[in-house]
Structure 1
Amino acid sequence: MTGPLIVVTMGDPSGIGPEIVVKALARRCIQAFCRPVVIGDATRLADAARLLQLPVVPRPIEDPGEARFGDGTIDCIDLKAVPPGHPYGVVSAVSGAAAYRYIERAAALTRSGRTDAICTGPISREALHAAGHCFHGHTEILARLTGTPEVSMMLVGPHLRVIHVTAHLGLADAIAAVEPALVERTIARGRAALVAAGTRNPRVGVCAINPHAGEGGLLGRGEEADKIVPAIEACRERKWFVQGPLPADTAFFRAYRGEFDLVVAMYHDQGHIPIKLLGLEAGVNITIGLPVIRTSVDHGTAFDIAGRGIADEGSLVAALRQAADLSSRH
């Protein structure tokens, strides 16, 4: 097997993470573009394989150098973080602690150069908090673990790429957090990521905060003029193709039609809803600005269906492909 070595975190053990990892890595096509090593619990993966009736066997290892990448096996750095019979479908401090340990090990291995990229399974914020890890999600955890002061969330789906100025904040807090320097840095990070991926002069559309882009100040409190326009003007001074602030509905329509390579969303749902509407099973979450490559599924733990064997692994497969592609260009 050839390709970049990618560590795959199992996600919250009580969610669908174990199932989608087994289903994804059981696909023979994965071997064509990467060498995956799971960080998780081998017994949990074995449970998932039995549930799914798939002829794959987790192979416990302690280091990526021990991986064999053989057919019918899943190399797993086995942290033995959850006890046998641990329940599915519930928020658990045990699972939250385990999920954090998987991420922590993945970050350490990739920062040291032992692996090429990280691909993460879904975690539960509530479980993390129950375990004493008070982070909003992967983005903030990996920023802390890598000593990175500021990162951005980029979502990539069919026909659309979106980068977020703010992410895991309540709406009022998100609007308060938007300010010109942050908007400019977010545009710059997103543009740099696209250039690194081969887009020579990315076309960027920037969303407004208010409906109709504020109607010249009639809607909202002048946020567009105060918080967004200065950033766009600064980017244009660099001779970048940046348009906005645009009404969000217009920006996403134009991007879907092919007019923009990247849309800049001001807050979480503004960017997430269009991506997920276009295809949750194909969406990928990429953290921009880290010293390591990290991609992720674009969905949650789905506790309501965990342990039933019906979860779709498509987003994880797409995230692995994206991690492999980014690694090859790095």
Structure 2
Amino acid sequence: MNQKPNIAISVGDLNGIGIEIALKSHEKISTLCNPIYCINKDMLKKSSKLLEISIPKDFKTYNIKGDFEIKPGQVSKRAGRFSYDSFMEAINLANKEKVSAIVTLPINKESWNKANIKYKGHTEVLRDFFGKNAIMMLGCKKMFVSLFTEHIALKKVAKKIDEKDLTQFLLDFYKSVKAKKIGVLGLNPHASDNGVLGDEEVEIFKAIRNANKKLKKDIFKGPMVPDTAFSPMSRKNYKYFVAMYHDQGLAPLKALYFDQSINVSLNLPIIRTSVDHGTAFDIAYKNDRKLNTKSYINAIKEAIILYENRK
């Protein structure tokens, strides 16, 4: 019988729903892995008391410095710093091979900004830490979407569409997922109607051609018309898509599979998965509803699958 993998859990922003998800899901995920929570015992006790949820006896913590008042639903410099430190410790544990993977609970970007953290999110940290072009992919077993550009202003996206950079992105993405075919979205409405609505599709077409030539396989298809790329017929033919910008890929994904989708960081030496939702400050610590933990549990399961595939 295979030994359960150790997985580091970064607890996210303690003013949000992350720690409630961790506590409520612990019994279930403990059957799948050995979770190690990157939180100190004092902050865990404070969270537990506010939530009126007892701490499981086998809830293993990995000490993170920090002691502050939890303020449910509020943007906080100290909570932002703690969530960042929790994430960095999880990275260090994975980098030192003390854990098989890391799973991250949601952070608040405004809290990170208040704490003078220069990064906008988890993926940017991983990219800088490892010096690798980490790829953000989100989805579930029915559909996955990777993002060529992520957290940048929409007006800057068109300038980022570059043949060389997109070619390398496509090659790295294929290396990570090994799918038989991958749909690549255009940028403009109607994929520009042969240049009538823009010329970015020329760069996208060249990148697709280059990547397929390099792979000696007809893997990448497109540029696909963005407003029909996720139609039921298209999703019968494709499981993996490459979107040119954040909302182009994530708006349809979350409309279809919001409660079950996860976030996966590809093209890295470590395994990292995450929930595909935010801190939900509006419902944090309210204790009067059944919290949906499906995304978190799916993230744990995917991390284990990725780990097993790397053996």
TM-score, structure 2 normalization: 0.92
Asked if 1:82 is matched to 2:84, the reply is no
Aligned partner (choices 164, 186, 207) of residue 208 of structure 1: 186
RMSD of aligned residue pairs (Cα, Å): 1.9
Q: Give yes or no for contact 1:17–1:301 (8 Å, CA) kept in 2.
A: yes
Asked if 1:161 is matched to 2:148, the reply is no
Please tell me the residue identity of whatever aligns with 2:38: I
In 1, the alpha carbon distance for the partners of 2:16 and 2:244 equals: 29
How far is 1:174 from its partner? 1.8
Which residue is equivalent to 1:235?
211
How far is 1:147 from its partner? 2.9
Aligned partner (choices 322, 325, 328) of residue 302 of structure 2: 322
How far is 1:140 from its partner? 0.4
In 2, the alpha carbon distance for the partners of 1:288 and 1:174 equals: 21
Q: Give yes or no for contact 2:186–2:223 (8 Å, CA) kept in 1.
A: yes
Aligned partner (choices 120, 126, 133) of residue 136 of structure 1: 120
Q: 1:42-191 maps to which residues of 2 (within 5 A)?
A: 42-50=41-49, 52-57=51-56, 72-83=57-68, 85-148=69-132, 150-191=133-174
In 1, the alpha carbon distance for the partners of 2:241 and 2:180 equals: 10
How far is 1:158 from its partner? 4.8
Q: Mark the CA change 1:322 to 1:173 in structure 2 (over 3 Å): closer, same or farther.
A: same
Q: Mark the CA change 1:203 to 1:280 in structure 2 (over 3 Å): closer, same or farther.
A: same
For each residue in 1:16-71, what CA deviation from the matched residue of structure 2 results, as whole angstroms up to 9, or x when unmatched?
111111112132xx2332111110233443344445554433xxxxxxxxxxxxxx
Which residue is equivalent to 2:35?
36
Q: Give yes or no for contact 2:11–2:19 (8 Å, CA) kept in 1.
A: yes
In 2, the alpha carbon distance for the partners of 1:129 and 1:50 equals: 28
Q: Give yes or no for contact 1:18–1:44 (8 Å, CA) kept in 2.
A: no
Q: Give yes or no for contact 1:90–1:303 (8 Å, CA) kept in 2.
A: yes
Please tell me the residue identity of whatever aligns with 2:208: I
Report the count of equivalent residues: 305
Q: Give yes or no for contact 2:48–2:55 (8 Å, CA) kept in 1.
A: yes
Classify the secondary structure of the residue corresponding to 2:251.
Answer: helix
Larger deviation, residues 205-214 vs 36-45:
36-45
How far is 1:188 from its partner? 1.7
Classify the secondary structure of the residue corresponding to 1:285.
Answer: strand
Q: Mark the CA change 1:255 to 1:88 in structure 2 (over 3 Å): closer, same or farther.
A: farther
How far is 1:190 from its partner? 2.1
In 1, the alpha carbon distance for the partners of 2:10 and 2:144 equals: 24
Asked if 1:21 is matched to 2:22, the reply is yes
Which residue is equivalent to 1:307?
285
Please tell me the residue identity of whatever aligns with 2:171: A
Classify the secondary structure of the residue corresponding to 2:8.
Answer: strand
Q: Give yes or no for contact 1:164–1:186 (8 Å, CA) kept in 2.
A: no
> How many percent of aligned residue pairs carry the same amino acid?
32
Which residue is equivalent to 1:270?
248
Classify the secondary structure of the residue corresponding to 1:217.
Answer: coil
Q: Give yes or no for contact 1:2–1:32 (8 Å, CA) kept in 2.
A: no
Classify the secondary structure of the residue corresponding to 1:75.
Answer: coil
Which residue is equivalent to 1:7?
8
Structure 2 spans left out of the alignment, 5+ residues:
none
Classify the secondary structure of the residue corresponding to 1:282.
Answer: coil
How far is 1:254 from its partner? 5.7
Q: 1:250-269 maps to which residues of 2 (within 5 A)?
A: 250-253=228-231, 257-269=235-247
Classify the secondary structure of the residue corresponding to 1:174.
Answer: helix
How far is 1:157 from its partner? 2.0
In 2, the alpha carbon distance for the partners of 1:190 and 1:255 equals: 23
Q: Mark the CA change 1:254 to 1:185 in structure 2 (over 3 Å): closer, same or farther.
A: farther
